[in-house]
Every structure is written in structure tokens, then in C-alpha cells.
């Protein structure tokens, strides 16, 4: 299984990184437009979002248009993360991703989260998600027992079938620049 995931990560990351910065910006804008059409996004009171790496979907255009509280992950190491609402400037975390400063943020319990916006390396139409491999979301999502999960990705990241394991949780909704996909249950 590990070899399959490594091969899939390599292919999907290559496709994502092959996109020009202009193509990623255009696709991110279209994804944000589609996200803002989701009633689940507007119904949520507390959303766990993320700060994008240079080659990921940038959700900056969505966050300012929501009434919900927006939290971001903070990686604690060993696959453990927490959700925090920033009350001040964010700072780079261990993977170079901007995260809330623990001294200037509010810690949330996973049960408070209504909706999670999920980044990914790859996905398939069944809602399977392939991350970077550290397992942060795999460990955190089961604790968000009432949250809907919305995977956001570029269409170029789609695979015919993502290798999965028993602990992997499927996304409820998938959003790309081309379409909104609701996987069959």
C-alpha cells in the first residue's frame, strides 16, 4: 500500500506543480466561487480551513466573505494537530505552512467544528483523499464528529482511484475549478 501511495503522490504533485502560477491563481478563484455557492459553507458556524502552500488551492478569497469563525491547523508533531482561531499574526510552522501562534490564538475542540476545508495531494471521485503522508488530518478528522468535509483541489490532482487504508475518511463534497462532486455514499 505504501508504494502505491508514494507513486500516486509523486504523480499528483507533479501535475499540480506543472501548473503555472497564473493557472493556479485562476483555478483557485474558480474554486472559491464554487465554494461560496455551497449552502453547507454558509450554514457552518465554525470552519477549519488551511493556509495554502505555493502550489495548493488558495482559499483567501473565501474567508473574508463568511460569517463563520475560521480556524487553522497547528501541527504539534508526530501527526498530531490542533485547530486554533488566530487572534493576531500567524507564523510559519514546522512544514513552512502559516499557522496560528499559540500565544495569540484560541484553541478549539474538534467537536466545535462544523465544516472542514481539506487540502490534498490527490483525490478520486469517490471522495478518497491522499495527503502528504504525515497523517495529521487522518488523526484529527475522526474527532470532528459532526463536521462536513469539503475537499478542495485542482482538477489536475484527480486520480482514477486513490489507494486507501481503513482509517482514511472520505470527503463529503469535492470542489475543483471545473465542478462540485458529491460522492455516492
What DSSP element (H or E) covers 179?
Answer: none
Backbone angles phi, psi at 151, to 5 degrees: -85, 135
* Domain housing 37: 2-181
pLDDT at 135: 86
Distance, CA of 98 to CA of 91 (rounded, Å): 5
Cell of 130: 491522499
CATH number at residue 72: 3.40.50.10420
User: Mind listing the pLDDT tens digit of every residue in the chain (185 residues)?
Assistant: 577 888 999 999 999 999 999 999 999 999 999 999 999 999 999 999 999 988 999 999 998 899 999 999 999 988 899 999 999 999 999 888 999 999 999 999 999 999 999 999 999 999 999 988 888 998 999 999 999 999 999 999 999 999 888 877 889 999 999 999 999 75
Task: Give the pTM.
Answer: 0.93
| pLDDT number for residue 104 | 96
Helix (H) / strand (E) element for 26: namely helix 21-36
E strands, the chain, are 46-48, 69-77, 80-86, 90-92, 98-100, 105-108, 115-118, 122-123, 129-130, 148-152, 173-175, 180-181
Domains in the chain: how many in total? Answer: 1
Supply the pLDDT for residue 1.
54
Amino acid at each position: 500500500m505504501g508504494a502505491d501511495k508514494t507513486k500516486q503522490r509523486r504523480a499528483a504533485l507533479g501535475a499540480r506543480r506543472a501548473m503555472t502560477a497564473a493557472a493556479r491563481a485562476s483555478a483557485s478563484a474558480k474554486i472559491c466561487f464554487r465554494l461560496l455557492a455551497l449552502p453547507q459553507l454558509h450554514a457552518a458556524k465554525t470552519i477549519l480551513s488551511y493556509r495554502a502552500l505555493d502550489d495548493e488551492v488558495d482559499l483567501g478569497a473565501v474567508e473574508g466573505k463568511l460569517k463563520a469563525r475560521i480556524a487553522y491547523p497547528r501541527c504539534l508533531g508526530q501527526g498530531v494537530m490542533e485547530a486554533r482561531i488566530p487572534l493576531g499574526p500567524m507564523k510559519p510552522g514546522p512544514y513552512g505552512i502559516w499557522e496560528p501562534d499559540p500565544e495569540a490564538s484560541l484553541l478549539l475542540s474538534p467537536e466545535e467544528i462544523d465544516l472542514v476545508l481539506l487540502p490534498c495531494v490527490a483525490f478520486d471521485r469517490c471522495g478518497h483523499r491522499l495527503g502528504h503522508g504525515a497523517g495529521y488530518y487522518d488523526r484529527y478528522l475522526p474527532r470532528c464528529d459532526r463536521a462536513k468535509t469539503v475537499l478542495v483541489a485542482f482538477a489536475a490532482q484527480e486520480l482514477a482511484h486513490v489507494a486507501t487504508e481503513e482509517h482514511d475518511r472520505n470527503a463529503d463534497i469535492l470542489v475543483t475549478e471545473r465542478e462540485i462532486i458529491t460522492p455516492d455514499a
